[in-house]
Amino acid sequence: MNHTEIKLMSIAGARPNFMKLASIAHAVHTHNASASGQTVSIKHVIVHTGQHYDEKMSHQFFDDLGIPKPDINLEVGSGTHACQTAEIMKRFEPVLLQESPDALLVVGDVNSTIACTLVAAKIDYGLSGRRRPVIIHVEAGLRSFDHGMPEEVNRILTDRISDMLFITEESGLINLQNEGVAPGKIHFSGNVMIDTLCRHLVKAKNSNIKNRLGITGSYGLVTLHRPSNVDSPDALRSLLECLAGISQRLRLIFPVHPRTRGKIQEFGLLPLLDVAPGLQLAEPLGYLDFLHLTSNATLVLTDSGGIQEETTYLNVPCITLRENTERPVTVTVGSNYLIGVEPGRIIETVEKILSGQGKQSRIPELWDGKAGERIVRDILVHGFGLA
Ligand code: UD1
């Protein structure tokens, strides 16, 4: 019996990547342990770019999610978009040449995603028969149509130069078709982030985060980190004042992203929070603690992308503090309210939910915990012609 080994390199850089990588790592492990893994095995090499580096933004997720330790860490750290992207590219190129994987898998839309994809698209291994890796983009096709968002630029460019595009929802298929992507490149896999959620829900139930934060009774959960919401003093002040108002009605728990914490300090907005005892700030939380809080929240107020999907799966009302979403299925099928940042509308939506008139979500197609398995199978079959 002939044995074939495919070398797959996966990239993770920032917090929202780790949940997606966890699903892929688990699916690879499951494949290798199965009967078909006897004939075609996958050697999985994990590269962490170091875009996120704080214990609470990075390492804790590897522990919580049981992801194997990265084989390589590029340790790039923070910087402007250009500096961060360029630094990742500079440090990644020699690693890619050295390892020469058969396939490179990137997830999501962060700077690490586009930086590594761009390197891989132009690399030349100098090997006979294989110049570069097959490039695989997981969570492809999402579009906010807002080119002012750095992530939108990253998404469009990454999709353009990837070979296999795995989509999470039907809008991804429509967007890619409209952009002229060959149908054979597009694969509807479902949602790897939901795989990880399904696998950790029971463990998350046992988290004692509510005790640690002194939470009793009902509460809302808040996250904010988008540049459009936190990088201008006026926008951030308006949102914090609105949250302070809501917190008189419903206690709010707000684990603060380092970027947002920095801006609150820089703009001198701390006094606003001192007079709002119902608005409780916390450090960024690990995956299991955050999932515990999301599952039990009365509602969530957020500008995150992934949280719109997690709340949809969990049927928890989500108020998205943005003008657009690249994940429209969370609005059409899920429990997401896309309402922007106007305080009157935010308060009105909170009141609607608190009065029991919130919408019920259904679970989108193929968000069934098996996306990672489908992706691994499709990579072998369609990427390498292997069964
Ligand atoms: C990045 C992603 C965004 C994702 C978010 C999740 C891009 C363009 N943006 O935004 O899509 O939703 O991650 O968090 O890739 N910082 C720390 N410690 C860390 C990481 C960051 O203190 O471990 C601080 C630094 O001051 C840094 C700032 O946060 O300058 C922003 O970090 P950066 O990686 O540039 O972008 P995010 O806002 O985290």
In a structure prediction context, what are the per-residue pLDDT tens digits for the chain, which is 387 residues long?
689 999 999 999 999 999 999 999 999 999 999 988 889 999 999 999 999 999 999 999 999 999 999 999 999 999 999 999 999 999 999 999 999 999 999 999 999 999 999 999 999 999 888 899 999 999 999 999 999 999 999 999 999 999 999 999 999 999 999 999 999 999 999 999 999 999 999 999 999 999 999 999 999 999 999 999 999 999 999 999 999 999 999 999 999 999 999 999 999 999 999 999 999 999 999 999 999 999 999 999 999 999 999 999 999 999 999 999 999 999 999 999 999 999 999 999 999 999 999 888 999 999 999 999 999 999 999 999 996
Specify the amino acid at residue 262. G
Q: Are strands 252-255 and 279-282 parallel, antiparallel or unpaired?
A: parallel
Instruction: List helix spans (H) across the chain.
Output: 15-33, 60-65, 81-99, 111-122, 150-160, 170-178, 192-205, 209-213, 227-230, 233-246, 258-266, 270-274, 287-296, 306-314, 329-332, 343-354, 371-378, 384
* 225 noted as active-site residue: yes
Nearest residue by C-alpha to atom 7 in ligand 1: 110
Strand order of the β-sheet with 299-302 is 279-282, 252-255, 220-223, 299-302, 318-320, 336-338
Ligand 1 center to 319 CA (angstroms):
22
Residue 221 CA, chain-centre distance (Å), reads 18
Residues ≥6 apart with Cβ < 8 Å to 225:
257, 259, 260, 303, 304
Judge if the beta carbon of residue 125 lies within 6 A of ligand 1: no
Measured at the alpha carbon of residue 308, what is the angle toward residues 52 and 232, in degrees to the nearest 5? 60
CA distance linking residue 327 with residue 330, whole number of Å: 6
Candidates 282, 271, 269; CA nearest to 238 is 269
Nearest residue by C-alpha to atom 18 in ligand 1: 54
Burial label for 214, CB within 10 Å (0-12, 13-18, 19+), is exposed
Q: What is the largest CA-CA distance in the chain?
A: 71
Instruction: Tally the residues of the chain.
Output: 387
Say if CB 274 and CB 297 are below 8 A apart. Answer: no
Candidates 285, 313, 315; CA nearest to 223 is 285
Report the nearest atom of ligand 1 relative to the CA of 306. 12
Residues ≥6 apart with Cβ < 8 Å to 243:
222, 252, 254, 276, 279, 301
Q: Which of 52, 225, 257, 292 is catalytic?
A: 225
Report the nearest atom of ligand 1 relative to the CA of 227. 38
Nearest residue by C-alpha to atom 33 in ligand 1: 78
Nearest residue by C-alpha to atom 11 in ligand 1: 110
Give the mutation target among 11, 48, 52 for probing the ligand 1 site: most ligand atoms within 8 A of CB.
52
Judge if the beta carbon of residue 262 lies within 6 A of ligand 1: yes
- Measured between its terminal Cα atoms, the distance across the chain in Å is 14
Judge if the beta carbon of residue 14 lies within 6 A of ligand 1: yes
Specify the amino acid at residue 26. H
Ligand 1 center to 84 CA (angstroms):
10
Sign of CA dihedral 137, 138, 142, 146: negative
Ligand 1 center to 257 CA (angstroms):
8
Ligand 1 center to 386 CA (angstroms):
38
Count of CB atoms within 10 A of residue 5's CB? 11
- Give this prediction's pTM: 0.97
